Amino acid sequence: MADVARSGQALLDEIAVTECGPGQGAFWWLGQHSFIVKAGETVIYLDPYLAPSAARQTPPLLAPEAVTNADLVLCTHDHSDHIDPVALPGIAAASPRARFVTPRAAAERVRALGIPAERHHGVSAPESIDLGGARVTAVRAKHEFFDEDAKLGFPYLGYVIELNGVTVYHAGDTLIYDGLLTTLQRFRIDVAFLPINGRDAERYRRHILGNMTYQEAVDLAGELEVGLAVPAHYAMFPGNMEDPRKFTDYLAAKFPDRRSWVGPAGRRVRFGAEGSASPEQGSA
């Protein structure tokens, strides 16, 4: 029977009962570049964007104060749809065991949101940190520019997360740059979350920093031979959109052996040893 899209307590209940044996994981897309990943018993929130806003095209699936199951919260950079000033303090209060990982350059911002220093871990690329059975490796991201700070490091990051025998890559907001493929080829990536909304002069003039295009995201996923390629960052804000079907169609044409998934937010997708995104789960 196909998994269905869930929200609120039904989503949290599903996460709780989802079993992930060795070499297995599951994820739920929350919209934009936000994901929940479960592997083993560890629940990770990636760029949780849960604040209500009139600008959103889709409502939040969870209220921050309902998120009682977070073990790790990873945020890629200090934009409000990635370091959400509503979500982070809400999750911190509801999940007192949760630890937070952000760019070191965002440490003051995170402290201002009330996240205790002992629960916050600031990193920069290419550092790795071991937390609760997960190994998190920071990968520099180029959100139009690297904007590296001589003392604090890179303000834009992606993360490679290794736990329970699976490997997840969350690209954060980034362009393709020399060295990204080589960095990622050190890992066997089971699932990659990739932005596809691209960039142009009109958006740049509105201070909307750009990401890779869907074609560039396809090339990265294809050359990395990822187990499952998942497009993201495409359907939240007017004027910063892309059609994910272009990603899946181009991937199928250029790299027919690579799998992709596009589906509704809140639907469970399994990956790893048992295979991922079977047809009933909405794979493309």
* Closest C-alpha among 29, 30, 60, 24 to residue 42: 24
Q: Domains of the chain, with CATH numbers?
A: 8-272 (3.60.15.10)
DSSP 167-190: EEEE--S----TTHHHHHTTS--S
What angle (nearest 5°) sits at the alpha carbon of residue 40, between those of residues 280 and 135?
A: 115
The DSSP bridge partners found for residue 195 are 232
User: Which segments of 18-166 does DSSP mark as H helices, in order?
Assistant: 87-94, 107-112
pLDDT per residue, tens digit, the chain (284 aa), is: 468 999 999 999 999 999 999 999 999 999 999 999 999 999 999 999 999 999 999 999 999 999 999 999 999 999 999 999 999 999 999 999 999 999 999 999 999 999 999 999 999 999 999 998 999 999 999 999 999 999 999 999 999 999 999 999 999 999 999 999 999 999 999 999 999 999 999 999 999 899 999 999 999 999 999 999 999 999 999 989 999 999 999 999 999 999 999 999 999 999 998 544 443 344 44
Own/partner contacts of 14-18, CB < 8 Å, gap of 24 or more, are: 14/268, 15/43, 15/69, 16/69, 18/268
Please give the structure tokens belonging to residue 284: 């493309």
